[in-house]
Amino acid sequence: VPLKAVLGTYTQRQTFAPRAPLELLSLEDVKAGLSEGRINVFFQPKVSVADRSLIGVEALVRWRKLDGNLIPPAAFLPVVEENGLIDEMTDQVFQKAVSAMAAWSLAGLSIKVAVNFSVESLTRYEVLDLVHSAIEREGVDPQNLIIEVTESRIMEDVTAPLEILTRLRMKGIGLSIDDFGTGASSMQQLKRIPFTELKIDRAFVAGAPTDDEARAMLESSVALAKRLGLTTVAEGVETKEEWHLIAELGVDVVQGYFVARPMPSEDLLAWAQRNGDVSA
Ligand code: C2E
Ligand code: MG
Ligand code: MG
Ligand code: MG
């Protein structure tokens, strides 16, 4: 997908500035921003299909420009990843996510928090220290943490991140295979990693009501996940029709604009109160 197309959809979404620039951030900006605390994290609810209760959130990185406007990950992640800055960004995002989790927990909201990790950082042992120290500092339960890794990236080489993913899992952290269906997983490779959750890519959710192939892909992904004992999550559910279809197929968890858009950590408690997950 061309970057312009990706960013084009963002400019129509209220989460971002209506006139967000359509180009990548420069390396200079990215370096400066990382040291100046320009990294922000938004959180998007994941709810149970059975009763709409809040199960957890996904942490999604955003870049705050000097004028206050927010920039989506597509405009800076490639720059971060290609210039050896991903560990630093992941560290900042993870710390913010874990500290938000601790704050919600104090306010009576105990939920799972999922953080996206780039596969490159999962080949370096430093990532274990980063994760461990944030957990210790905030005193959170690792069982409530999930690390999401994109299927297409992990399938390029399963062996390299296998040991670190296994160690994270042994700490109690959940492992989620993200954007499932886009990466041509080999079943043989897939089952080497101790995943706990499978997130079905939005493309199959969006296509399913009208497109038989998307629906077949959706149904077989759900069946596979169930056979492997994984929690199933449908991402990008935008309409009531999609919600009903997902419910019919027996998906466990939904994340998407139909439920809620990503929001700042301060807004999540109020959202959970309105949703009935925590008393006001
Ligand atoms: P992802 O992990 O698959 O995250 C879901 C993306 O779908 C998010 O885009 C979210 O805002 C968007 N989304 C959620 N519900 C809907 C919906 O109903 N409709 C539509 N059209 N979109 C929906 P976002 O925040 O732009 O993130 C894009 C990708 O950037 C993420 O995809 C993830 O791969 C990556 N990313 C985000 N945060 C981080 C991070 O902290 N670290 C790393 N390494 N990657 C990240
Ligand atoms: Mg994700
Ligand atoms: Mg995803
Ligand atoms: Mg996705």
The string of pLDDT tens digits covering residues 10-60 is: 333 445 555 554 589 999 999 999 999 899 999 999 999 999 999 999 999
Token pair, residue 109, equals: 């909201």
Neighbours of 68 (CB within 10 A): 7
Q: Which ligand is nearest to the CA of 236?
A: 1
Distances (CA, A) of 88 to 2, 163, 206, 261: 27, 21, 34, 26
Residue 179 CA to ligand 3 center (angstroms) comes to: 4
ipTM of the prediction greater than 0.95, yes or no: yes
Whether the model clears a pTM of 0.90, i.e. scores above it, the answer is: yes
CB 164 within 8 A of CB 134: no
Closest C-alpha among 226, 166, 228, 220 to residue 191 = 228
CA distance 280 to 273: 6
Token pair, residue 65, equals: 């420009």
Neighbours of 175 (CB within 10 A): 20
For the chain, how far is it from start to end, CA to CA, in angstroms? 43
Residue nearest to atom 21 of ligand 1 (CA): 236
CB 165 within 8 A of CB 149: yes
CA distance 153 to 265: 28
Query: Is the pLDDT reported for residue 3 higher than 60?
Result: no
Of 16-25, 73-82, 86-95, the range with the lowest mean pLDDT is: 16-25
Q: Which of 10, 14, 60 to mutate to test the pocket of ligand 1 (most atoms within 8 A of CB)?
A: 60
